[in-house]
């Protein structure tokens, strides 16, 4: 089976010959990539010339195009494959990538895996759909055809990146429904790695941090979002983002929940444990309206750290 990889750089591997990935460059690479993206279709030679080498249409003769096509066939049509088995021509002389089951294409596998789950409502997604989503996302090592800067390659790159981000978003939704906050956080971070200015994803990530018990990280995520918007777009965060931030910040100043008070058990080692407790004073009340915003955030973080330390100490006492 011939394997063609478009994610990252264009490469070809032949399972039958036991060959590793081999980069395909130049005119052969452009021709193979275009035919692979349009697999199942046939393109006239004039269309291929006008799309792949528009600046050379006048100078590029039929002979030079045939030379590029011949070289490409030498790369992909190895024995026992016959001439025209993969790079086929129809009765009009149009050219297309054929091969059926003899050719595996990573972008085809990617689309096949993610399409069903993206087409269904979230409540109708089953375990097999989730497995396919994960497998499809795993295929996306990088944007496709990174070595190409032609218009047709840029359009395809943006299309597949959009599908990849939609698949990550759907996985993030599934993780939230399953209350798997760590997985939801991971998928949200993967989206922001590709598109750091997605403010809606920043909000989702802030909420996932809170649900996962990481309020301080949620506040830091807001600062990251605000700084990015200011630096890249010269705009402030949206009202929804500011409202979520205030809600999280206000909760950081609230009274400790009753469970913390219930967990304050007499320590087994009074002197040592008492010293440790005193090293993490737990503030009780705060004035949300007073002080510099940065100072309020710093105080909130200290409060969260103290609360986490107090909880850990209490849990250790319970274990003792």
The pLDDT value given to residue 168: 98
Mind listing the pLDDT tens digit for each residue in 39-83? 989 999 889 988 888 776 555 566 778 888 888 888 888 777 777
pLDDT band (50, 70, 90) for residue 143: very high
Which of 192-196, 265-269, 291-295 shows the lowest per-residue confidence on average (mean pLDDT)? 265-269
**Are the C-beta atoms of residues 96 and 38 closer than 8 Å to each other?**
yes
Mind listing the pLDDT tens digit for each residue in 235-250? 999 999 999 999 999 8
The Cα 302–Cα 282 span in angstroms is 9
Q: What is the mean pLDDT of residues 191-215?
A: 96
Q: What is the mean pLDDT of residues 18-34?
A: 83
pLDDT band (50, 70, 90) for residue 297: low
pLDDT band (50, 70, 90) for residue 296: low
ω into residue 159 within 30 of 0, thus cis?
Answer: no
The pLDDT value given to residue 19: 63
| pLDDT at residue 115 tops 90 | yes
The pLDDT value given to residue 150: 92
What tokens were used for 131?
């497995």
Place of tokens 């795993």: 138
Q: What is the mean pLDDT of residues 293-305?
A: 63
Q: What is the mean pLDDT of residues 258-263?
A: 40
The pLDDT value given to residue 259: 42
What tokens were used for 30?
């452009």
| pLDDT at residue 231 tops 50 | yes
Q: Is 122 exposed, middle or buried (0-12, 13-18, 19+ CB in 10 A)?
A: exposed
């Amino acid at each position: 089976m011939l394997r063609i990889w478009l994610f990252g750089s264009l490469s070809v591997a032949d399972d039958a010959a036991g060959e590793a990935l081999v980069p395909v460059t130049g005119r052969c690479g452009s021709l193979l990539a275009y035919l692979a993206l349009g697999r199942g279709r046939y393109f006239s030679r004039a269309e291929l010339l006008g799309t792949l080498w528009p600046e050379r249409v006048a100078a590029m003769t039929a002979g030079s195009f045939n030379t590029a096509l011949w070289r490409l066939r030498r790369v992909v049509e190895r024995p026992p494959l016959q001439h025209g088995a993969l790079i086929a021509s129809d009765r009009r002389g149009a050219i297309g990538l054929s091969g059926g089951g003899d050719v595996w294409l990573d972008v085809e596998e990617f689309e096949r895996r993610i399409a069903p789950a993206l087409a269904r409502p979230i409540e109708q997604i089953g375990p097999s759909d989730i497995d396919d989503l994960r497998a499809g996302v795993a295929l996306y090592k990088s944007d496709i055809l990174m070595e190409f800067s032609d218009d047709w390659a840029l359009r395809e790159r943006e299309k597949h990146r959009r599908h990849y981000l939609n698949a990550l978003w759907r996985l993030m939704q599934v993780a939230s429904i399953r209350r798997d906050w760590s997985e939801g956080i991971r998928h949200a971070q993967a989206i922001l790695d590709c598109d750091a200015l997605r403010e809606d994803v920043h909000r989702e990530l802030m909420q996932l941090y809170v649900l996962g018990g990481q309020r301080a990280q949620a506040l830091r995520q807001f600062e990251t979002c605000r700084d990015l918007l200011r630096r890249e777009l010269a705009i402030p965060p949206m009202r929804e983002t500011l409202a979520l931030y205030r809600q999280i910040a206000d909760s950081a100043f609230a009274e400790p929940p009753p469970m913390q008070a219930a967990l304050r058990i007499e320590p087994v080692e009074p002197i040592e444990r008492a010293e440790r407790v005193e090293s993490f004073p737990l503030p009780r009340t705060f004035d949300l309206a007073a002080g510099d915003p940065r100072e309020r955030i710093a105080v909130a973080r200290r409060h969260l750290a103290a609360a986490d330390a107090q909880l850990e100490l209490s849990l250790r006492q319970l274990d003792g």
